Amino acid sequence: MTTTTTAPSTGAAGTAPAGAAAVPPKRNNLPTARYTMAQMRRSAGRLTAAGIAILIGTAFVAVTLLAGNVITRTTYDTIAARFADADVLVTTSGSDWRQDVEAVRGTDGVTAAEPVRSAYLNLGDGSAYAYAEGIARPQDDRLMPLELTSGKWPSERGEIAVPDGIAERLGVGVGDEIDIYRWVQTDAETGDGEEVAEPVRVVGVTEDPYDAYAVSGGAVVATAADIEEWGEEPVPGEAFEIAAVLAPSALSGDEPTQAVRDALAAAVVSDGEHAAQTVDERAREISAERTGGEDLVFLVFVLTFAAVALLVAGLVIANTFQVLVAQRTRTLALLRCIGAGRGQLYRSVLLEAAVLGVLASLGGVVVGVLLAQTALFVAPQFDIGVPLPATVTITPQVVLIPLAVGTFVTLVAALAPARNATRVAPLAALRPAETLSVRKGAGRARAVFSALATIGGFALVALGVFLGMNDAVQFGLAATVLGGAISLVGIIIGTVFWLPKVAALLGAIVARTGPASRLAAANTLRNPRRTSATATALLIGVTLIMTMTTGAAAARQTADSTLDETFPVDIMVMSGSGSVPPSAVDTIAGVDAVADVAELYSADAELPDGEYLYLQGADVEDLRATVNDAPALDGLEPGTVLLTEGQMEELDVAEGDTLDVTGTGEAVPLTVVRTDSVGLTGFVGLGDLRQIDPDAMFSQVWASLVPDVDAADALADVQQAMSDDGVMVTGPAAQRAQFEQVINVMLGIVVGLLAVAVVIAVIGVANTLSLSVIERRRESATLRAIGLGKSQLRGMLAVEGMLIAGVGAVLGIVLGLVYGWTGALTALSIMGGVSLTVPWLDLGVVLVVAIIAGLVASVAPARSALKASPVEALGAE
Amino acid sequence: MDTTVYVPVDGTRAVRARDLTKTYGSGEAAVHALAGVDVDFAAGEFTAIMGPSGSGKSTLMHLLAGLDTATSGQAFVGTTDVTALNDSALTKLRRDRVGFVFQQFNLLPMFTAEQNITLPVELAGGTVDRQWFGTLVETLGLTERLTHRPAEMSGGQQQRVAIARALIAQPDVVFADEPTGNLDSRSGAEVLSFLRRSVRELGRTIIMVTHDPAAAAYADRVVLLADGRIAGDISDPTPESALAGLDALRTLEPNVSTGTTPVVPGAGAR
C-alpha cells in the first residue's frame, strides 16, 4: 500500500490537501499509469478469473474466424484442383459453346483446350447404387485432375473410369460391366419419360490426389461424347468455362501474356460477357461466389453464440471491477484526499480494464489458434470426407478482430465501475472500513427501461404466437424472435430489482438446513447487485439452452403426431422399381414382430376432367387389421374412395360427390369420403380397384407390429428378411429415428456452442465468491474464532455458490420454458396441434449441472477463506 | 437474579501458562515475542493484561486462546493443554469453552443483535438456553436492541452485543482484546462496567488485554508484561496504581532488558 499511494502524490505535489480535491491537479497521466500498474499487480489474482472469462470469449471468436478461413480455403483448393494444369480459363455465356471451344483451340499459343462439362450419373448393378459426377476425358491429360491407378482412360463410347471409392462400394473392377440409370424424356410435349439402364464397361480406376472431387464423392470419367449425351445443355446465364493449356511463348512467368488474353477474348463467339482468367483468379472468384452465402451464414450463426459468450464475459468483468472498486474505496478516497482528480481515477480504472482486455484477448487468440490447429491435426483421423488444410491460416483479421472485440467488451464493462470510482468521496478515507460501500440501488430510468422492454418484448412474442397459429409463420417467427430478444434484454437489465427476492426465497428454504446455510443465505443477500449480476451471467446461458431443449422437445412431440398421421401403419414395404415380389407377403408375415399384413395394389386412374388420381386398393378387412387407426377406414367400402381435404380441393370435389374413375378397365363411380390421414388418401376397396384396372400393380405390403415390440428393432428385422428382394422398408419408427437424429445433432451443436457461455458464467460465480471471501476476511476469521469449523466454512461457501448458481439456473429454466413454448407455438402450429411438454430430463440435467458448477466454483474461494487465521479477527486493520 | 450457580470454587485456575515462548523468525532475525511466561488466571476473576506496545500482551492472549501456535511451553484452559490440540479440537474449544470480544466488535452486518448473540450456539449445533439469554440481555441492557442490525447501533451497543455473544455458550473464559479501543470514553466505561458485572454477577472469567490504565482499573487484578516477560502484578488496581505500574515499567525498561534477559540480547532494541 505504501508504494501505491506515493505514486499519485508526486503528480499532485504542490496542490493543497483535502479541501482542494475538486480542483483538477496537473494533467499528468504518468502517475495514474504507474498507480494503475501497481494496483493491477496487487490485484493480479483477482483479475485472473475475469481475464479468463474474456480469454474464452475471444478464443471462441478466433476459432470461428479460423474455421471460416478453413472453409474458404478448402473451397478454393477444391475448385483450383479441378482445373488441373490449365494456364488460362475462358469464361463465356455458353450460348455457342461448341464454337467457343474450337475458337479457343484455334487461338495462337493455346496447346490444348477443353470445356469444363459434367453430368450427374446414377451408377448401379441392380443391388448397389452410387451417385457421382461424370466428367469428360480431356484431349490433353494435363487438363485431367484425376490419376489412373489401374486400367486405362476411356477412349470409346460406353467406357468409363471410376474412382477407387465407388469401385469398392459397387464391388467392380477393370473389365466389369455396370449400368448407368438415366431418365429419358419420351414425350417432349407432356414431359413424360422413363428411366433407362444403359450398360457401360469399367476400363479404369482412378484416384483423386488433389481432392478435386472429394466433396461430391469422386468423379466418373467417360468420353466427351458420352458426357455430352448424359449431361444437360449449359444453362443460359451460368458461366461456361473452357480450360486451356498455353505454350511457353504465351506465358510470362505463370501468367498468360496480355496478348493471348486479348486474343482469347476476341475469339469467343458466344454473346454476353466473357473473360480470360488465370486459374487462381477464377478459383478465387468462384469460391467467393459459392461460399459468399455459406460461410457468411456459418459465421453469423456461430458468431451469434460467440456474442452471447462475450456478453456473459462482459457481465463477469463488470462485476469484478465493481467489487475491485468497492474494495479499493479507502485507497481511492485517500488518493482523492491527497489531490487525485476524478478524471485520473476514472482513467486509472479504464486503463486497468484496457490492459486486462488486451492481455486476455491476446491470450484468447493464442488459445483459439492452438485449438483450431489441434482440430486440424486430429480431424484427418476421422473420415469426414472433406479435404482440410494441414495448418490454419492466420490472417490479420483472425488476430485483430478478437483483440478489438475482447478489449472493447472489457472496456465497456468497466465503464460503470470506473464511474463509481469517481464517486468515492475523499471523506470515505476517514470513515471506519466496515461502513464503506459504493453507491447502491438502481436508477429509476433502469426500472422504466427494463419494464418497457420486458412488457413490450412479451407483447411482441404474443403477437408472434398469434401470427404463427394463424399460418403466418414467417412473420410470426420474426416477431417472436425479436420480441424474445427484447424481453430478455429487459429481464437482464431488470434482474437487480427482482432477482434478489427470488434468491431470498430460495435462501429462506436453504437456511433451514443449518447455521452454515443460514450464514450463506444471508451472505448471498448482502450485496443484491453483485448476486444479481453473477446469477444473470448464468441465467443467460441457461435460458438459451433451455429454450432450445424445450423447443426441440415440442418439435419431437409434434413430429411424432404428424408422423402418426402420415404413416397410417407401423411398417411399409415398397419397391423402388414398381412392384413388390409376390413372395414378400409371406416373408414379412413370417417375421416374429409382425402381427398382421395387408397387400396393397395401386393404379393410376383418370377422372372425367382429365386429371389423374393415384389409387390404392386393399382388402378392407386386412387393412383394418393393420392400420393404427382403424376407425379412419370407417367410410371405406365398395363404391367409395378416401380423400383428404387437401386433395378434394385439388380435384375440386366435395365430400359425398361421385367421381367417375377410369383406368384400363371399366369406369367406376366412386363416392368421396373424407379422411384426415394423408397416408390413406386415394384408397378404394380391392374389388373396385380390380374393376378399374385388372392389372393393378402389387405395390406395397403394410404390416402392423405385435404390441410392445421395439419399432426400430422390428423394422430392422423386416429389412433383414427382405434384404434380397431389393425393396424399401420404411415406417414411422425409421422416420422418427432419422428426425430425432437431425434434432439431436442440431440441439447438440447449439447447446455445445452455448455451453461456452455457461462455462464463463461459472467462472464468474467463482470469481464473485473469491472476491467476497477477500472482502470478508475479517468476518471469516471472527466466525472461526467464535466456533465455525473448517468444514462449516467450506459448507457455507458451497451453499453460497450453489445458491447463486441455483437462482440463475431456476430462473433461466423458467424463462427457457416460456421462450421454448412460445417459439414452438409460433413455428410448429402450422404442422397441427403443438404439444407443449416440459423436458424434465433436460431440465433436471441443467439444474444439477448448474448446482454442481456452483459447488465447484466455491472450492478455490473456500481454500483461500480457510487461510484466514482466527487471529486476523483481532487485528486492528 | 440467581447468581450463586455460576460462582466457581474460589482459587480454581481457569487459565494457566507454563514457560510459554513465541519466537518469530530465526537466527539473527529472531524476535522473541514471549520469552518464557508463567502465569495463572483465577476462575471468576476479571484480569487485565497490560504492557507497552510490543510487550507481547496480544501474543500471550492468542496463545492462551489457542488462536496461534506456541514455539514452546504450554497453555491450559482448565485442564486442557491448548498447545497440543489440532484444528478441529481447537474449533470445538472455541465453541464451547472460550469466548472472544474484539476491538472492532466484528458483528455480522446482515444479522440482528439477537441472531449475532445466538450464532455461536447455533454453529455448535446446540439449542439456546433462553433463561441464560434473558439474563445476559438484561444484564447488558440489550432488551430494546435485539431486532436491530449492527449498522443501527452505536459502538457501545455493538460491543455489548459482542460481549453477550462471547458469553452465550457459558465459556470457561472470555478473552477481550482492547474492547474499548474503538469507543469513546463514556461508552468505554459502560462496556467495562458490563464486563465487571459479568464477572461479579454472572460468575464469568474474563481476561482483557488493554494499554489503558483507566480500563485496567475495572479489573480485579492487573498482570504487567514487558518484553515478553511478566513484569509485575497489581491486585485491586485503581487507575492511579495501574498507571504507576505502567510508568514504572517504562522507566525500568532498559534495566529489565539489560538486567534480566541475557539470553535475548536483541529484545530491548525493538
Average pLDDT of span A638-652 = 86
User: Can you give the pLDDT at residue A428?
Assistant: 67
Residue among A518, A522, A789 whose CB faces B88 most closely? A789
More confident residue, B249 or A624: A624
pLDDT digits (tens, 9 = 90+) for A688-707: 888 888 888 888 888 888 87
Instruction: For residue B2, tell me if it sits in a domain.
Output: no
> Among residues 178-237 of chain B, which lie with CB inside 8 Å of chain A?
181-182
How far from A370 is each of A70, A391, A668, CA to CA, in Å? 14, 10, 74
Tell if the CB–CB gap between B106 and A779 is shorter than 8 Å.
yes
Q: Is B106's CB within 8 Å of A778's CB? A: yes
In which domain, by residue range, is B138 found? 12-269
Query: Do A789 and B67 count as a contact with CB atoms less than 8 A apart?
Result: no
Residue A306 has what pLDDT? 86
Res. B253: pLDDT tops 60: no
A518 to chain B, any CB pair closer than 8 A? The answer is: yes
In this prediction, residue A442 carries a pLDDT of 56
Exposure string over A734-745, b if 16+ CB within 10 A, otherwise e: bbbeebeeebee
Q: Is A450 an 8 Å CB contact of chain B? A: no
How much is the pLDDT for B252? 52
Mean pLDDT confidence for A843-870: 86
Among A547-551, A561-565, A650-654, A798-802, name the one with the lowest average pLDDT: A561-565
Residues whose CB is less than 8 angstroms from the CB of residue A51 and which lie 6 or more positions away in sequence, other chains included:
A356, A359, A360, A363
- Least confident range of A422-431, A591-600, A647-656: A422-431
Res. A582: pLDDT tops 90: no
Please name the fold of domain A88-117+235-277: Alpha-Beta Plaits (3.30.70)
* Local confidence band at B5 (pLDDT 50, 70, 90 cut-offs): very low
What letter would DSSP give residue B137?
H
**Average pLDDT for residues A629-638, to the nearest whole number?**
81
Tell me which of A575 and A263 has the higher pLDDT. Answer: A263
Please check whether residue A681 is in contact with residue A621, taking contact to mean a CB–CB distance below 8 angstroms: no
A238-242, A412-416, A503-507, A733-737: least confident range: A733-737
CB-based contact, B128 to chain A, within 8 Å? no
- DSSP strand pairing (B98-101 vs B173-177): parallel
Q: Which residue has the cell 473473360?
A: A275
Q: What is the mean pLDDT of chain A?
A: 82
The pLDDT assigned to B9 comes to 42
Q: What angle is formed at CA A63 by the lines to CA A57 and CA A65, rounded to 5 degrees? A: 105
Q: What is the pLDDT of residues A332-370, one digit of tens each?
A: 887 777 777 788 888 888 999 999 999 999 999 999 999
**B154 and chain A: CB distance < 8 Å anywhere?**
no
Confidence of residue A294 (pLDDT cuts 50, 70, 90): low
Give the 3-state secondary structure of residue A10: helix
Residues of A in contact with B99 (CB under 8 A): 786
CB of A439 less than 8 A from some CB of B: no
Mean pLDDT is lowest, of A126-135, A510-519, A584-593, for: A126-135
A783: closest CA of chain B, how far (Å)? 8
Q: Is residue B203 within 8 Å of B7, Cβ to Cβ? A: yes
Q: Is A206 helix (H, G, I), strand (E, B) or coil?
A: strand
The CATH number of whichever domain residue B226 belongs to comes to 3.40.50.300
Task: Please name the member of B67, B88, B111 whose beta carbon is closest to the beta carbon of A871.
Answer: B67
Q: What is the pLDDT of residue A732?
A: 72
pLDDT of A6: 37
| A869 in contact with chain B, both atoms CB, cutoff 8 A | yes
Q: How does residue A122 score in pLDDT terms, banded at 50, 70 and 90?
A: confident
Q: Which of B61, B62, B67 to mutate to test the interface with A (most CBs of A within 10 A)?
A: B67
Residues of chain A with CATH 3.30.70: 88-117+235-277
Question: What pLDDT score was predicted for residue A876?
Answer: 46
Q: What is the pLDDT of residue A293?
A: 59
Residues 6+ positions from B208 with CB-CB distance below 8 Å: B46, B47, B48, B49, B175, B176, B177, B179, B195, B215, B216, B219
Percent of chain A with pLDDT over 70: 90
For B94-116, what is each residue's pLDDT tens digit?
888 888 888 888 888 888 999 89
**A574: Cβ–Cβ under 8 A, 6 or more apart, which residues?**
A580, A699, A700, A701, A727, A728, A730
List the one residue out of B248, B259, B230 whose CA is nearest residue B55.
B230
Whether the CB-CB separation of B70 and B63 falls below 8 Å is answered with: yes
What is the reported pLDDT for B256? 42
**A192: buried, middle or exposed (CB in 10 Å: 19+, 13-18, 0-12)?**
exposed
Residue B73 resides in a domain: yes
CB-CB under 8 Å, A784 with B91:
yes
Q: Residue A190: what pLDDT?
A: 67
- Given an 8 Å threshold on Cβ–Cβ distance, is A778 in contact with B94? no
Residue whose grid cell is 397441427:
A832
Q: In this predicted structure, what is the pLDDT of residue A430?
A: 60
Residue B6 falls inside a structural domain = no
Residue with cell 530465526: B26
Residue A576's pLDDT is what? 62
Quick one: pLDDT at residue B10? 45
Mean pLDDT of A134-157: 88
**What pLDDT sits at residue B245?**
85
CA distance A309 to chain B (A): 34
Q: Hey, are the CB atoms on A786 and B120 less than 8 Å from each other?
A: yes
* Residue B173 CB neighbours (<10 A): 21
Band (A295; pLDDT cuts 50, 70, 90): low
What is the distance in angstroms between the Cα of A877 and the nearest Cα belonging to chain B?
A: 9
Cell numbers found for residue A848: 444439477
- The answer to whether residues A36 and A64 touch, using CB atoms and an 8 Å cutoff, is no
Burial class (CB in 10 A: 0-12, 13-18, 19+), A412: middle
Is any Cβ of chain B less than 8 angstroms from the Cβ of A790?
yes
Q: In this structure, is residue B128 part of a structural domain?
A: yes
Domain membership flag for residue B52: yes
Structural domain count of chain B:
1
Put simply, the answer to whether A874 touches B100 (Cβ < 8 Å) is yes
Q: Of A378-392, A847-861, B207-221, which range is least confident?
A: A378-392
Pairing of strands A110-115, A571-575: unpaired
pLDDT at A192: 66
On the question of pLDDT at A76 being above 60, the answer is yes
Query: Is the pLDDT at A724 greater than 80, yes or no?
Result: no
pLDDT in tens, A95-119: 888 888 888 888 888 888 888 888 8
Residue B254 has pLDDT above 80, yes or no: no
Q: Does B110 touch chain A (CB under 8 A)?
A: yes
Strand order in the sheet with B98-101: B98-101, B173-177, B206-210, B46-50, B221-226, B229-235
Residue A126, phi then psi, degrees to nearest 5: 95, -25
- Residue B1 domain-assigned? no
Higher pLDDT, B260 or B155: B155
What band does A487 get if pLDDT is binned at 50, 70 and 90? very high
* Residue A427 DSSP class: G
Instruction: With cut-offs at 50, 70 and 90, classify the pLDDT of residue A73.
Output: confident
Which grid cell is A592? Answer: 416374429
Q: What is the pLDDT of residues A220-263, one digit of tens each?
A: 999 988 888 888 777 776 778 888 888 888 888 778 888 888 88
The residue assigned the cell 468497492 is A326
Residue B95 lies in a domain: yes
Q: Does B62 touch chain A (CB under 8 A)?
A: yes
Q: Is the pLDDT of residue B71 over 80?
A: yes
- Cell numbers for B8: 466457581
Q: How confident is the model at residue B48 (pLDDT cuts 50, 70, 90)?
A: very high
pLDDT of residue A50: 84
How distant is the alpha carbon of residue B39 from its chain centre? Answer: 14
Q: Which amino acid is at B84?
A: A
Backbone angles phi, psi at A13, to 5 degrees: -60, 135
State the Cα torsion A55-A56-A57-A61 to the nearest 10°: 100
ipTM, two decimals, is 0.76
Beta-sheet pairing, A658-661 with A668-675: antiparallel
Q: Mean pLDDT highest for which of A102-106, A527-531, A561-565?
A: A102-106
What is the pLDDT, as a whole number, of residue A386? Answer: 65
Question: pLDDT-derived band of residue A202, with 50, 70 and 90 as boundaries?
Answer: very high
Closest partner CB to A526 (pick from B95, B96, B110): B110
Q: Quick: pLDDT tens for A401-460.
A: 999 999 999 999 999 888 888 887 776 666 554 444 444 455 788 888 999 999 999 999
